[in-house]
Chains A and B, each alone.
Chain A
């Protein structure tokens, strides 16, 4: 926790400074006092929770879809090595298609409803997952595999004691990086027309020039994307404690 002191202090300083200068009338009207943004959330708890849940639901659905598909694809690539390059390139190509080009085209194909937003969220987070899983499945050293063979380990034992532990750090890295992308993908998809969600709130507030609500939606965007990253980072540090302690071993 020691590394947190200075950033927290400077963030608090910036917030207090903003509050004071806004109260003194020194800031333009497009920068609201931080207390006003918080008050906005305090007054409309339903607005915050409903829209955050909508975005979180879309992002989670997309995340799970992407996780399932990339797991299947990387398992396929691990079993049939000839497909390795093809799977990787397919993921890279999908990653290279910008959201802004994909969304309208997909909207025409599958309609503009929730499935579209889930698909966009899935598309925007699949690549880091795919890279992590594909790297993870190849992570076990061939000498270690040989050792398991020499020890006459069963397939299940090899999987449990060698392949899974070797893969987990890479898989976690991929899942962790992908989590904010799923949130941001869901919010971008909501810009294209959704009645609920943080992105919808943002767009409505922008067009009615509701400054405090715009900042609130931006704040929620940051909290959601950083929070999902943080959850994975926490899970990683608990589940992979053996790895961290092994890294610290001299």
Chain B
């Protein structure tokens, strides 16, 4: 049943591809403006090594960045629920981070970490940190009052309340945060690849546009859309599995 959404998506993609193919062939659109889907698929297959390697780089940066960001967000959220003073001290700093745009973060990250995967990971971490933190905080704070009282009556310690009550309550919020952060993370990774200009799907898109390899360009763009949809589906499925158990 988790496969139904991707199946519907696949069918509608196939339909859109057919319409696209028909239009391009019927209207004689030159291939360097908008290539036909069969040419894009052919280019994707013949250049699959490049495409998969660069997509793998982007996906790796996105996932590692998300995990690092999640770890930081979790640590901060625990700290903030333990003491209000920590929250009041750290929040202005975090908001300053939040309001720095990717075009300002990426070049500084590149100065620090060079043109490898580290820059992408750092940018992804910074971009996805705030939505994760905000949603985690909201989740950790929205425990049921009666349940909290029961834990208090039983004399539960901080970590017991945290593990048995706060964290399970926060899980749906966490997935909301992941869904928002996932899209921002992929975009951040691709933008930082754009500026470092060495690896990744973002760089491949830019390079194939410069070389006028329109088919490869479209294949790379569609691949990035596919990765974004895959991330979304992954978080939605994870949410359903986890919340069904609760």
Contacts and interface: CB of A to CB of B under 8 A. Distances in A.
A47 B85 CA distance: 45
A221 B33 contact: no
A202 interface: yes
Interface in B115-156: none
A191 interface: yes
B169 interface: no
Interface in B202-224: 202, 205-206, 208-210, 212, 214, 217-218, 221, 224
B32 A221 contact: no
B163 to A, nearest CB: 36
A55 B112 CA distance: 26
Nearest to A205: B107
Contact of A221 (B103, B212, B217): B103
A18 B107 CA distance: 19
A205 B108 CA distance: 11
A28 B112 contact: yes
Interface size class of B (residues with CB under 8 A): 20 to 34
A1 interface: no
Interface residues of A, number: 33
Contact of B195 (A99, A180, A203, A211): A203
Nearest to A192: B206
Given A105-B217, A105-B221, 9 more contacts: A30-B112, A100-B187, A103-B209, A108-B33, A202-B195, A215-B108, A218-B104, A218-B108, A222-B100
24 contacts: A28-B112, A30-B108, A99-B191, A100-B187, A100-B206, A101-B221, A101-B225, A104-B208, A104-B209, A104-B221, A105-B217, A108-B214, A191-B103, A192-B194, A192-B206, A202-B107, A203-B195, A206-B107, A206-B110, A206-B111, A214-B107, A214-B111, A215-B108, A221-B104
Pairs A-B, 7 closest by C-beta atoms: A104-B209, A30-B111, A101-B221, A218-B104, A187-B103, A221-B104, A100-B190
